[in-house]
Structure 1
Amino acid sequence: PPARSRRHPAAASPDRQEERLLVITCSPNGATSTTRAISKYFIECYKEVWPRHAVTEVDLSTRGLLPPLEAIDTDPSALSKSYKLVEQFGSHTKFLVATPMWNMSLPSSLKLYFDLLLHPSHADKTEGPDWPCATSPVAVVTASGEGMLGGSEDFLTPYLARLLSLLGFKDIRTQLTVNGTSDEEKLADLLEAAYREVRLMAPNFVFNPETQRPMHVPPRWSMQGNVDLMQRCPHGPNLLAINGALPGEEMVVAEQVISRFGKLHMTALGPEAREGVAGDQSQAEWPEPTVKVVELASLGLDHFSKQAAEAKVHCKMGLSPEATGLNLTSQIWKMVETVIKEFRAADCYLFLVPMSNLFVPYCVKNYFDHIIQPGRTYDPQGKANVHKPVYVCATSCGKHHLGTHADFLTPYFHAVFKLMGFVDVRVVNIADFGDDRDISMQVAVDELAFHMRPCVRVYIDPDSALAPLPPSYTCLKSNRSSMESQESQQLQQVMEAESVQEWRLRR
């Protein structure tokens, strides 16, 4: 950081000793982290002006600091640990959040931290009169290696602003950004610009209700243009079902949807479906369909700590576990390799994802943070396409945010799978199960089956795997009422002509 002048502008409020600054960092990159460097410089500038203010630093990449969210309702020690985090947060009057962009959004450790703060078990604290956010300033430090901040792939800045708003903040400052840290030639200039902004902000870092609030709506994202809706990828025999629900009502719903869709998958590729298939391939040569279910809540993935980041780097560099010399890193490395191998072996995917604070659950984000690795699950050049169908069933119990301007989940799934090269991603949104849970689950399965049928037909006829669908399919363009927001929206889909009337009756 550049040398600082000891003379600062007059502070906008008295130097009250009871003021406390909480600095939250989450980058697992250690000393090489850009956001950590800026946050440290902010603390130095701040302490020169406010020497009597207490400053607390929290490093979310510390392994074991954050309790698993799924254990809050069953494990007293996890509840106690989360309550201490809430108490710590609530005892401060100023806040600084420093985070890198990780797979187009926030790291899973920061997502878990906010999910813990917003957990219903802490509502008596976070919704009480002593909760400081409404009269506290919060500064956000962000950095992106590829320069995605502020663009159509930026799910970090608007979502973080939305989360802070949910916590009650009204003074949110997001101008401390470094966009394009991977460009070493420009990095020094980018850092200097951020340091200048720090020198302006730190001396006057007091609550200002007139601060213009940043935009906190998700970027507009569509797969249209990336995938021809008249084409489908083959629905192969090996289905990988990813359950992102936590124990409770959401888990019951997810398990039921997976079970019903799994039966449809087994039937669609079973012996009866193979009868009359043209070609030289005999019935005996057809692989048997399988369903592999992965429950992320019990998978045991690391919360992307420093050791997990080291494991990812070692995996990226092709180092063997023995070459690391670190036992813990080696264990995480092996776990990452196992998960990636399982993901790549599948022919089609089903994701059951309940909305969590307007976004994907932390366990789903953590899963993506582990498996998305260059050369393993995506091509950094963006030239490789993955011709496997992905079905996403997004649920929201008692909320109507899916499909609205507050929905960060749906566009993120399209964006993150495009990053990995997938060209056939279908998202089904089912909101507010309510009293008609069984009916809603069947509606979800019906919509998933509606998307699956053409893909199965393409798989059975390999010659048409990447070609337009045969004449027995037609493109139906209709207007339907959104189940989540009751807003009319157009949906262009491909379906069998003979099943159009049946599908309309079900809807």
Structure 2
Amino acid sequence: MATLLHIEASPRAARSHSSQAASAFLDAYAQSHPHDHIVRLDLWALDLPTYDGAVLDAKYSALAGAAMPPEQAAAWAATRVLVDQFKQADKLVISSPMWNFSLPYRLKHYIDVITQPGMLWSFDPATGYSGLAGDRPTLLIQSAAGSYDAASGAQSLDHLSSYLATWLDFIGIKNRRTLWVAPTFADEAALAQTKAHALETAIGLARQF
């Protein structure tokens, strides 16, 4: 039995285009993988640890291999709970809208919390950085008002895709693909066609994921 972790970055629930595609994917996945376990992580309902001085001090203590005082140790333990959940998943789905050409701040907050030395990455002066997340199938479901593919001429503005790709590469996740729901800023007929194509694609991907 595999565990699939769905990280939900939109606060709009069923009104969200990325969430609708994710729901279609997960429903189809559950049908075709009845023995797998699906964990849904709604970042807007999650009490994310504050990324404050205690966590930063704990991070530098970890980098230095130094003992942590109680405040740092408590902050580090709260971080490790989320990291363990992330690392223990056999498969990942991250659904996110594009906000201001980039990612929602709650998703960035989550990434900042879990991307810690000794947990998701390591550094060796001789060999440089190494990802510790462990590669696994990963699907990025992304929505945007406009088009940001190669034909659009606006690809350089897509900092959502580039950021997530850089982050996943850094922590060692290479086995990934992206499903777009875009453009959503369109007339009713065009939007319906875009969504229908995205949902059909999501269902097809789920059966082979």
The CA RMSD over aligned residues, in Å, is 2.2
For the pair 1:152 / 2:156, whether they are aligned, the reply is yes
TM-score, structure 1 normalization: 0.34
Superposed displacement of residue 167, structure 1: 1.4
**Alignment partner of 1:67 out of 49, 52, 55:** 49
Unaligned runs of 5+ in 1: 1-16, 206-507
Which whole-Å CA distance do the structure 2 matches of 1:149 and 1:78 have between them? 40
Which one has the largest radius of gyration?
1
Secondary structure of the residue aligned to 1:80 is helix
Instruction: Give the alignment of 1:158-173 within 5 angstroms.
Output: 158-173=162-177
3-state SS of paired residue (2:185): coil
Q: 1:165-197 CA deviation, whole Å, 9 max, x = no partner? A: 1111121101x1011212242221111111121
Which residue is 1:448 aligned to?
none
Percent identity between matched residues is 30
What is aligned with 1:109?
106
Corresponding residue for residue 100 of structure 1: 97
Give the CA deviation at 1:200: 2.0
CA contact (8 A) 1:99 1:107 kept: yes
SS of equivalent residue, structure 1 residue 104: coil
**Paired position in structure 2 for 1:84:** 81
1:106 Cα deviation after fit: 0.8
Code of the aligned partner of 2:143: A
- What SS class does the counterpart of residue 164 from structure 1 fall into? helix
CA contact (8 A) 1:96 1:141 kept: yes
* 1:126 corresponding residue in structure 2: 120
Q: 1:149 to 1:101 in 2, by over 3 A?
A: farther
Q: What is the Cα deviation at residue 43 of structure 1?
A: 0.7
The reply on whether 1:22 has 2:5 as its aligned counterpart is yes
Evaluate the alpha carbon distance shift between residue 109 and residue 148 of structure 1 in structure 2; reply closer, same or farther with a 3 A threshold: same
Q: Which runs of 5+ in 2 are unaligned?
A: 59-70, 123-131
- Structure ranking higher in helix proportion: 2
Letter in 1 for 2:32: V
Q: Distance in 1 between matches of 2:99 and 2:50?
A: 20
Q: Write the distance in 2 (CA, Å) between the matches of 1:179 and 1:200.
A: 18
Confirm or deny: 8 A CA contact 1:133 1:170 kept in the other structure: no
Note if 1:37 corresponds to 2:20. yes
Deviates more, 1:72-81 or 1:27-36: 72-81
Aligned residue type for 1:169: I
| Aligned ranges 1:179-198 → 2 under 5 Å | 179-185=182-188, 186-198=190-202
Aligned-partner Cα distance in 1 for 2:83–2:18: 23
| Residues 281-325 of structure 1 deviation map (CA, whole Å, 9 limit, x = unaligned) | xxxxxxxxxxxxxxxxxxxxxxxxxxxxxxxxxxxxxxxxxxxxx
For residues 149 and 35 of structure 1, what CA distance do their matches in structure 2 show? 17
Report whether the alignment pairs 1:139 with 2:133: no
* 1:20-419 aligned within 5 A: 20-62=3-45, 65-70=47-52, 71-72=54-55, 73=58, 74=71, 76-120=73-117, 123=118, 125-127=119-121, 133-134=134-135, 136-148=136-148, 151-174=155-178, 176-185=179-188, 186-205=190-209
2:21 counterpart SS class: helix
- Tell me: higher relative CO, structure 1 or 2? Use CA pairs within 8 A at least 6 residues apart: 2
Aligned length: 182
CA positional deviation for 1:148: 4.0
**Could you tell me how far apart the structure 2 residues matched to 1:148 and 1:28 are?**
22
